[in-house]
C-alpha cells in the first residue's frame, strides 16, 4: 500500500513538473511559473537556455483576471511585474536583466510612466540597457509591451 502511495505521489510530482516545464532536444526549458499570466496561442512565457532566461513580450495583464490593468501607470507597472515573476522563478532579480526592448504606442505619454515605474521597481541605478520606440500598433491596441532577457547562471 505504501508502495502504491509512493508511486502515486511520484506520478503526481512528475505530472506537476511536466505541466510546469518541458525541455527541448538541446535543453531549452519552457517556463510556466505560478502567479504568471495565462498564455493563449502559439507562444510561451519564457525559457531558460544555459545561463540566460528569455521572457516573452509582456503587457500589463493582471494575472488575477487575465485582463489589462485599466490605468496607464498601473498597466506599465504590471508589465514589469509580470516579467519579474518569470525572471524570479529562475533565480533572477530585475537587477539581473541584461536587455529591455520596450514598444510603446506613444513616447510622450508612456516614457514618463516607464521612468517612474523603473525607478520604483529597481530602487535606483544601475538599470539595464534599454531600447524604446513607438510601434505602429501593439496587441489589443495596448500602450506598452516589454521584451526582456535575464542572466542567471546555472548553479554548478
Q: Can you tell me the distance from the alpha carbon of 103 to that of 4, in angstroms, rounded to the nearest whole number?
A: 52
Contact with its own copies (CB under 8 A): which of 33, 63, 72, 122? 122
Interacting residue with its own copies among 26, 34, 64, 156 (CB under 8 A): 26
| Nearer to its own copies among residue 62 and residue 147 (C-beta) | 147
Contacts of 135 (CB under 8 A, 6+ apart): 103, 104, 105, 145
**41 vs 70 by CB, closer to its own copies:** 41
* Stated length of the chain: 156
Q: Which of 36, 92, 110, 113 touches its own copies by CB under 8 A? A: 92
Interface map 38-77 toward its own copies (x if CB under 8 A): ---xxxxxxx-xxxx-xxxx--------------------
Q: Could you say whether residue 15 binds its own copies (CB under 8 A)?
A: no
Contact 55/92 with Cβ under 8 angstroms?
A: no
Compute the distance between CA of residue 112 and CA of residue 108 in angstroms, rounded to an integer: 7
Only one residue has cell 540566460, namely 52
DSSP characters for 53-77?
A: EEEEEE--EETTTTEE-SSHHHHHH
Q: Which three cell numbers stand for residue 128?
A: 539595464
Confirm or reject binding of residue 16 to its own copies (CB under 8 A): no
Q: Is residue 88 a contact residue for its own copies (CB under 8 A)? A: no
Nearer to its own copies, 63 or 138 (CB): 138
Q: What is the contact surface with its own copies in residues (CB under 8 A)?
A: 22, 24-28, 30, 41-47, 49-52, 54-57, 91-93, 95-101, 103, 107, 114-115, 118-119, 122, 125-139, 145, 147, 149-153
Amino acid at each position: 500500500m505504501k508502495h502504491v502511495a509512493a508511486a502515486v505521489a511520484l506520478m503526481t510530482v512528475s505530472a506537476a513538473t511536466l505541466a510546469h516545464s518541458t525541455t527541448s532536444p538541446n535543453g531549452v526549458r519552457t517556463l510556466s511559473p505560478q502567479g504568471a499570466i495565462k498564455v493563449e496561442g502559439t507562444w510561451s512565457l519564457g525559457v531558460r537556455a544555459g545561463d540566460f532566461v528569455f521572457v516573452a513580450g509582456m503587457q500589463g495583464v493582471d494575472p488575477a483576471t487575465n485582463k489589462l490593468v485599466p490605468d496607464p501607470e498601473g498597466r506599465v507597472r504590471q508589465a514589469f511585474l509580470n516579467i519579474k515573476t518569470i525572471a524570479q522563478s529562475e533565480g533572477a532579480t530585475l537587477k539581473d536583466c541584461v536587455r529591455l526592448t520596450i514598444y510603446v504606442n506613444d513616447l510622450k505619454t508612456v516614457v514618463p510612466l516607464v521612468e517612474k515605474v523603473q525607478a520604483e521597481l529597481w530602487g535606483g541605478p544601475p538599470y539595464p540597457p534599454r531600447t524604446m520606440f513607438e510601434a505602429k500598433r501593439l496587441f489589443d491596441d495596448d500602450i506598452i509591451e516589454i521584451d526582456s532577457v535575464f542572466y542567471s547562471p546555472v548553479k554548478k
